[in-house]
Amino acid sequence: MGGARSDGDRRDRNRPRAPQAVARLPRQVREELTDRLRQTRRAFGESDVQVVEPPLLRRAVGASALGNCMEWFDFGVYSYLAATIGKVFFPGASPAAQVISSFATFAAAFVVRPLGGLVFGPLGDRIGRQKVLATTMIMMAVGTFAIGVIPGYGTIGIAAPVLLLLARMVQGFSTGGEYGGATTFVAEYSPDRRRGFLSSWLDFGTFVGYALGSALVTVLNLALTDQQMLSWGWRVPFLVAGPLGVIGLYMRLKLEESPAFQQQLDEHEKALVQESARSEFQDIVRSHWPELLVCMGLVLLYNVTNYMVTGYLPTYQTETLKRSSGSGDLLVLIGMLWIVVLITFLGRLSDRVGRRPVYGVAAAAMIVLAVPAFVLIKAHGTWPPILGVLLLATLLACFAAPSAATLPALFPTAVRYAAMGIGFNFAVAAFGGTTPLVTAALVTATGDDLMPAYYLMLAGAIGLLTVRFLPESAQVPLKGSRPMVGSHQERRELITVSEELYAFTRERERRQLRSHPG
């Protein structure tokens, strides 16, 4: 025993002790920096660390979040008005068929989302994120405004639902390039230490847009009679899209291109991204399929929950639980406002404890709490339904907060926009956007009004499995990009840490060679 202890003591004495600054680094950051230092065979210099000036960072994050708010206001009001739209455009069908037909048109926008991702993703990797995001902004505004001016079925017959479908497809096509581009843009602007917090502002904008849409619909439902809503009131939220689109376009045209995109545009990268979109798609699938599967699993978890709460829950309360549209919309609005309060705090939490714990705990909680949440939503009274919606909203906030930082970190800069367009949009089209349609059909077919909860439990199980394969990216530089910091002081600190880490790594390697000379 004594010999064993002395051998262990000798090994401890031979093992170099990490400097305090190096020891404080999160494990994933230390491993990533060590790999980079081994490749360069030197510590970082000033040119190796990118500084994002605070005014530029605030403008990039603010404009992206504001544009996203406007975009998702446009996209979200449809779900709040699904029952009314069903009566306007499908008047001959039964109430259940009207809802399903309306949600089928809702889901049609998601069918073309992958096509939008396949077009806008490679384009964003070639010509830049900013130009594509300005294009998606104006396309969404045009598509939404068009819905507001389409005559109803009683005026132009079958042409009405056909035009509605076309307008929804324009929305879906533009959205195919929106979220992947916006998350890529914000992630590439954010300092590594604060990427979770800063990127969470993008989804903050998303839910503010949802909340504004919900609030406007709620006010209209309370202020107007049912006949007035059917006649003209439902058009108001869609007509607001015109001026909002102009404001969003102006904001996005004022942005500068992201530092990571500018960095990768040397001659080698220019040659790399000139290949055709088809060959790029094949290369991404072939080379990055594990990351694509992880991306799709997390997107499924986030968006099934998202569209269950924002897309299906208002209709579930009016059509299944037979509550007034005003009370149903108000309940969802409370949930949206709760998400807005939580989301940036959860983004900051993901920077501190990591993305994986936030996703994992919330996915496990979804499996346990989905049924109790819907039991509360179904209950009579005021507070049980509010508590049920707040439970679902809290879980949704946990999935939304880290997403804009986690998903872009899966892919390298040269293909990040395109890969996000593939992984995100295919998952949303297959699982997220179809959630209201599938859930409404399941409730109608089975008569079981807890079907939405079972659907969420399945999404939670898939999400929990996905987290097992998710690499931790909190505070880690993006693949293919220089480390990002928020000030020159932080750059000096990182350079000093890299010098200590490089010296520590070299000393450890020398001692290993002396211990094992063969």
In this prediction, residues 383-402 reach a mean pLDDT of 95
What one-character-per-residue DSSP string does 89-123 give?
H-TTS-HHHHHHHHHHHHHHHHHSHHHHHHHHHHH
Q: Given pLDDT bands bounded at 50, 70 and 90, which one contains residue 258?
A: low
Q: Note the CATH number of domain 50-267+285-481.
A: 1.20.1250.20
Q: Evaluate whether 62 touches 497 at the Cβ level (below 8 Å).
A: no
Q: Given pLDDT bands bounded at 50, 70 and 90, which one contains residue 268?
A: very low
Q: Pick the range with the lowest mean pLDDT from 65-79, 174-188, 249-263.
A: 249-263
Helices (DSSP H) in 324-434: which residue ranges?
A: 325-353, 355-378, 383-406, 416-427
- In the predicted structure, residue 476 carries a pLDDT above the cut 90: yes
Q: Given pLDDT bands bounded at 50, 70 and 90, which one contains residue 363?
A: very high
Q: Evaluate whether 441 touches 158 at the Cβ level (below 8 Å).
A: no
> What is the tens place of the pLDDT at every residue in 324-340?
777 877 888 899 899 99
Q: Given pLDDT bands bounded at 50, 70 and 90, which one contains residue 518?
A: low
* Distance (Å) of CA 227 to CA 117, 161, 224: 39, 20, 8
| Mean pLDDT, the chain, whole residue set | 84
- Please tell me the predicted confidence (pLDDT) of residue 274: 47
- In the predicted structure, residue 348 carries a pLDDT above the cut 70: yes
Helices (DSSP H) in 190-276: which residue ranges?
A: 195-223, 226-231, 236-239, 241-253, 259-263, 267-272
Give the residue, 249 or 168, on which the prediction is more confident.
168
Give the separation between CA 418 and CA 512, rounded to whole angstroms: 43
In this prediction, residues 245-266 reach a mean pLDDT of 69
- Please tell me the predicted confidence (pLDDT) of residue 453: 95
- In the predicted structure, residue 271 carries a pLDDT above the cut 50: no
**Beta-bridge partners for 485:** 51
- In the predicted structure, residue 467 carries a pLDDT above the cut 90: yes
- Please tell me the predicted confidence (pLDDT) of residue 506: 85
| Domain parsing of the chain, residue ranges | 50-267+285-481
- In the predicted structure, residue 169 carries a pLDDT above the cut 90: no
